[in-house]
Structure 1
Amino acid sequence: MEFRRITPDIYSNKIEESKKFYSEFIGLKLAMDMGWILTFISESNPTAQINILHSDKQNIDNSNVAISIESSDVEGLYKKALTENIKVIYPLKIEKWGVKRFFIKDPNGVTVNIMCHINNSAMAENKKNV
């Protein structure tokens, strides 16, 4: 069996804020905007996607929803998050298992883990930058 993609669907009553967050901050391309659904893609890997679906509910609880986005520029996004006052809930850290990451909240309350895998030889060098 072949799987071509797995895409998270996030319900939102903050469509414009979501559009700005995922396109301007994260850097994904808005590939589809039908009003009730937005699809964002990575230009370098179009199967890496996130859907934002409009909901009329006032209180959408995404507090238990988390997504991970592997980036080639984790440090750059971390600095950008701090500059743009995006809520950082877990600061930039190199984990002992070889992952550099930080967590933020998107406009919908979704926890976004921005991360990259690093090899062991790069771990010592990268610790200097954290």
Structure 2
Amino acid sequence: MRVKRIIADLRVADIEEAKSFYTGYLGLSIEEFNLGWVARYTSPDTGANLQILTRDATAPENPVISVSTDDIESAYEEARSLGYEIVHPITTEAWGVRRFYVRAPDGNVINVVRHRD
């Protein structure tokens, strides 16, 4: 799998309450998206970013990171052939991404995602 980007996914109780800390204090002032349960914030100066989420709206568990790849189908097949647990099957979500969740051997849940072009 070719990894394009990795983004931390931090669990928060409330997106709107947490937003001011990450946008103000940390300077991640660009809100790339906000679906109410997950939002991504980015620094306009450095491009550093992170996602905060309350509870994933379509998957059974929350991920700890999101890994962006350009070939989601191959990444999915590779994870399956290696015997890794697929926590959330490959799915095209309503908001346009294609993704699946895989559990790393250490127990962490990873969101492997391909964003629309």
Measured against the shorter chain, the TM-score band is 0.3 to 0.5
Q: Choose 1 or 2 for highest CA Rg.
A: 1
| Structure holding more helix per residue | 1
- TM, length-normalised to structure 2: 0.46
